Amino acid sequence: MDYIDYYKILGVPKNATEAEIKKAYRKLARKHHPDLNPNDKESEHKFKAVNEANEVLSHPENRKKYDEYGKDWKHAEQFEQAKRQRRPNGQQSGFGGFEGNSGGDFSGGDFSSFFESMFGSRASSGRGRTAAFRGQDFNAELHLNLKDVYETHKRVLTVNGNNIRLTIPAGVENGQVIKIKGKGGEGTHGGPNGDLIIQFTIANHTKFKRDGANLYSTETIDLYTALLGGDVTVNTFDGKVKLKVKPETQNGTKVKLKGKGFPIYKKEGHYGDLYITYEVKMPTNLSSKEKELFNELKNLNS
């Protein structure tokens, strides 16, 4: 049975404080925890080694005995007997009645033969305190269309075989990430559950360009309406509206329809604006008469 360097296993110096030992243990135990490394024999072995090291170094009496007899562990029992013989009334040392104050959940078979020789089977038979670990966070990607997030709606998302009911607020943006507390992996040994982190991917198959809560679109008007003015019917995201075009409207003119944009995230009843750009369509296939009239207009203008 070879000597085991518990300090080396935890990656701490021999003069490490209790806080440093605890911090190192928790980091390594989480890294190699079987729940996070299923069917990984190497991680399982390291997890047991880390817990065994913590079993010794986190308990002052165990650590004292290990520090005193570690390299001479084969003779530890003889040293202990000599100490007992020197005590009045055969008083026992504190080690004989030691019950495990463990950072993990152990049965006797989980300890190395070195541990058994140093601390005896009674040390490994107790069920000590168990370190609690927070559950793993789950990450999911939810694909939606722009029309899906125009109104608040409910949806069921299946994550790791579990159905999770979600309320998706209107106005969610492409690439936005939300966190649902406690819907991730289960915590171990009483630790809290992890969280469910959802990223939204929103496809836009509409004629509207979205920028936050504002929408942008282009509407074509004919030359005569642009010159003389008139009424046009334009599309908004939730229907059609009639607009008055001012006379002599130039190509590229922008108009704003207040409150006709996209819902503002988590502000029920509040909307952005819709910006419409007029695109003047030039007439084609002119008749002789039309050409004659346009020439008259040209001469009048000059």
Beta bridge pairs of residue 209: 216
Regarding the domain delimited by 138-203, which CATH topology (the fold level of the hierarchy) does it fall under? HSP40/DNAj peptide-binding domain (2.60.260)
How far apart are the C-alpha atoms of 9 and 87, rounded to whole Å? 35
Question: CATH number of 6-125: 1.20.990.10, 2.60.120.260, 1.10.287.110, 3.40.50.300?
Answer: 1.10.287.110
How far apart are the C-alpha atoms of 106 and 124, rounded to whole Å? 7
How far apart are the C-alpha atoms of 148 and 115, rounded to whole Å? 61
For 299, phi then psi, to 5°, come to -65, -40
Burial of 250-264, coded b for 16+ CB within 10 Å and e otherwise, reads eeebebebeebbbbb
**Measured in whole angstroms, how far is the alpha carbon of residue 40 from the centre of its chain?**
24
Which tokens hold the place of 72?
A: 């001479």
How far apart are the C-alpha atoms of 37 and 40, rounded to whole Å? 6
**Domain layout of the chain by residue ranges:** 6-125, 138-203, 209-301
Query: What global pTM score does this model have?
Result: 0.57
Per-residue pLDDT of the chain (302 residues; tens, 9 = 90+): 577 889 999 999 999 999 999 999 989 988 888 777 878 888 888 988 998 888 889 888 888 888 877 666 555 555 566 555 655 554 433 333 223 333 444 444 466 776 766 666 545 444 444 566 778 888 889 999 999 999 999 999 888 788 889 999 999 999 999 999 998 888 877 788 889 999 999 999 999 999 999 999 999 999 999 999 999 999 999 999 999 999 999 999 999 999 999 999 999 899 999 999 999 999 989 899 989 988 988 888 87
Give me the residue label for tokens 């570690």. 70
6 touches 62 (CB < 8 A): no
Which tokens hold the place of 166?
A: 């979600």
CA 188 → CA 36, 134, 171, distances in Å?
Answer: 10, 7, 37
Q: Is 21 left (phi over 0), alpha (psi -120 to 50) or beta?
A: alpha
6-125 against 209-301: fold identical? no
CATH class of 209-301: mainly beta
Instruction: Give every CB contact of residue 299 below 8 A, 6+ residues apart in sequence.
Output: none
**Measured in whole angstroms, how far is the alpha carbon of residue 85 from the centre of its chain?**
60
How far apart are the C-alpha atoms of 66 and 162, rounded to whole Å? 47
Which helix (H) or strand (E) segment is 94 a member of?
none
Q: Is 115 left (phi over 0), alpha (psi -120 to 50) or beta?
A: alpha
Instruction: Give every CB contact of residue 109 below 8 A, 6+ residues apart in sequence.
Output: none
SS3 189: coil
